[in-house]
Amino acid sequence: MLKYTDEHEWLRLEGDVATVGITDHAAEQLGDLVFVELPKVGATLAKGAAAAVVESVKAASDVYAPVDGEVTEINDAAVSSPESVGTDPQGAGWLYRVRLSDPSQLDGLMDEAAYRAFVG
Amino acid sequence: MTADTASSLLQTPLHALHQEAGARMVPFAGYAMPLQYPLGLLKEHLHTRKAAGLFDVSHMGQIAVRPRSGDLADAARALETVLPIDVVGLKPGRQRYGFLTTQGGGILDDLMIANLGDHYLLVVNAANKAAGLVHLLDAIGTPCSVEPIDRALIALQGPGAEGALARHLPAAAEMRFMDARPIAFADGEGLIVRAGYTGEDGFEIALPAEAALALARALLADPEVKPIGLGARDSLRLEAGLCLHGSDIDLETSPVEAGLSWAIPTVRRRGGDREGGFPGAERILAELADGPARLRVGLRPEGRTPVRAGAPLYPAGDAAEPAGRVTSGGFGPSLDGPIAMGVLPSALAVPGTQVFAEVRGQRLPCAVVPLPFRPAGFKRS
């Protein structure tokens, strides 16, 4: 199941663990990425709080946690090759995996069609 | 950008060209300006360092200062009452860097001034052009006419700039760094100067709107020349260690604190034949003689995390109070790492000193380094 937030993140749910990244639309808007900072494995995320940071040459942008939960895995390749987050944000450029503490939080998120309509 | 926002913004003579090139336009100092083109900021930056980049800087202010007496020396003396530099000694066909100072010894604006034989041309920052014009009219409007010139300004920067420009304007190849040559275009007078804001060899060409569009199109037909947006303009100037007014220099920062003392010659300092006589001279001359309390520095963060403008700088990882702050910072594409400039107390403003920038609650070690971050490619001879 693929979900999107209005903060331009995507979540792919497998069981109770969601893989999270930024959308291709967000990556295009941010431009070339030069630095990625991810949460630590085991960190507790609160929905709406800054969980990661992606930085272009010009600016730093927070990536907000789309749900509450515990970080189970991070994508080291995104840190070592920040450009991969820009070029393949919904594939190799995923950011982290989180075990959801409240799966009902997914209900408020958009599906693919709704997100495409949202970004116009 | 909404249509309403767009309609209230001024457009430069190259607006259509930006749109054709697929630029992402942003509001900047009241103008719709290209932030970046489809090539992207990183590649635009690297292309300028390797070949040639074309910049639309038509938003900048061009101001002609003419002596009412007809004697250029009168305009030079008048300009020296607002600029702490050597205007009297600036030869015809030459340009130099300067700044308008405030009564408190800060910087109202930084600018380029060219001697064009019968008048001076000042090129001032877009955001300050109204303030600069008012200041000049107040201060030197009696001995001089002070008139803004409404025309385009394009910059061609990079090691390939001379070759690309000389195909259209052969005079370019004969010029050296800071030469300024008037040039006639079909729709009016223009000017070429060999200077820029990237640390590369290059040119700035002031010219009428139609000629600007034609020249820009002709230059862009050359595969060596790519259009470059304001984003890369900023990362290029940061690597070159050049100040951005409003960030690294401002109404409070003195030219001495900003490391711009080189622009204030002996003749304007204490004991010089034309000592002082400009706004803020008391503070500026004292700082030149005794050293400033703080200084602009280059900073190389030790890790990969970019350190950006506004980040406090601490003298130690556990220091309670910041000693300074970052004034410009980001990522240097040609250095493949984070770079920044900031202000520090003079005792800490020594290359090799370690300071700590606070970013998202973490204290990141940064080395104080000499500026520029990379050597300039100017054609000085």
Q: What is the pLDDT of residue B2?
A: 39
Our CA angle for B329, B331, B336, nearest 5°, is: 145
Residues B185 and B299 in one domain: no
Assess A87–B contact: CB distance below 8 Å, yes or no: no
- Structural domain includes residue A90: yes
pLDDT tier at A120, thresholds 50, 70, 90: confident
Contact A56 B36 (CB under 8 A): no
At A14-68, the pLDDT tens digits run 999 999 999 999 999 999 999 999 999 999 999 999 999 999 998 999 999 999 9
Distance between CA atoms of B303 and B317, rounded to whole angstroms? 15
First to last CA, chain B: 45
Q: What is the pLDDT of residue B5?
A: 54
Residues of A in Cβ contact (< 8 Å) with B49: none
Longest dimension (CA), chain B: 64
Mean pLDDT of B128-132: 95
Residues of B in Cβ contact (< 8 Å) with A49: none
Distance between CA atoms of B29 and A74, rounded to whole angstroms? 41
Closest residue in A to B305 (Cα) is A35
At A11-26, the pLDDT tens digits run 999 999 999 999 999 9
Residues B307 and B228 in one domain: no
Contact B333 A57 (CB under 8 A): yes
Residues B227 and B375 in one domain: no
- Structural domain includes residue B320: yes
Assess whether pLDDT exceeds 90 at residue B65: yes
At B273-326, the pLDDT tens digits run 999 999 999 999 999 999 999 999 999 999 999 999 999 999 999 999 999 999
How many domains does chain B divide into? 2
Residues B165 and B234 in one domain: yes
Assess whether pLDDT exceeds 50 at residue B339: yes
Last residue of a domain, one of B203, B218, B239: B239
How many domains does chain A divide into? 1
Assess B228–A contact: CB distance below 8 Å, yes or no: no
pLDDT tier at B124, thresholds 50, 70, 90: very high
- Residue A46: φ, ψ to 5°: -115, 130
The CATH code of the domain that includes A72 is: 2.40.50.100
The CATH code of the domain that includes B50 is: 3.30.1360.120
Assess whether pLDDT exceeds 80 at residue B4: no
CA distance A1 to chain B (A): 32
CA distance A63 to chain B (A): 13
Q: What is the pLDDT of residue B3?
A: 43
Assess A40–B contact: CB distance below 8 Å, yes or no: no
Q: Which domain holds residue A53?
A: 2-109
Contact B306 A34 (CB under 8 A): yes
- Residue B330's alpha-carbon distances to A28, A93, B23, B45, in angstroms, are 19, 22, 22, 13
Q: Which domain holds residue B226?
A: 3-58+151-239
Residues B52 and B161 in one domain: yes
Closest residue in B to A52 (Cα) is B360
Helices first, then strands: H and E counts in chain A: 4, 9
- Structural domain includes residue A118: no
CA distance A35 to chain B (A): 7
Q: Between A and B, how many CB-CB pairs are < 8 A?
A: 43
Distance between CA atoms of B20 and B176, rounded to whole angstroms? 33
At B340-371, the pLDDT tens digits run 999 999 999 999 999 999 999 999 999 999 99
Contact B36 A31 (CB under 8 A): yes
Contact B40 A53 (CB under 8 A): no
One-letter amino acid for residue B312 of the chain: P
- Structural domain includes residue A117: no
- Structural domain includes residue B84: no
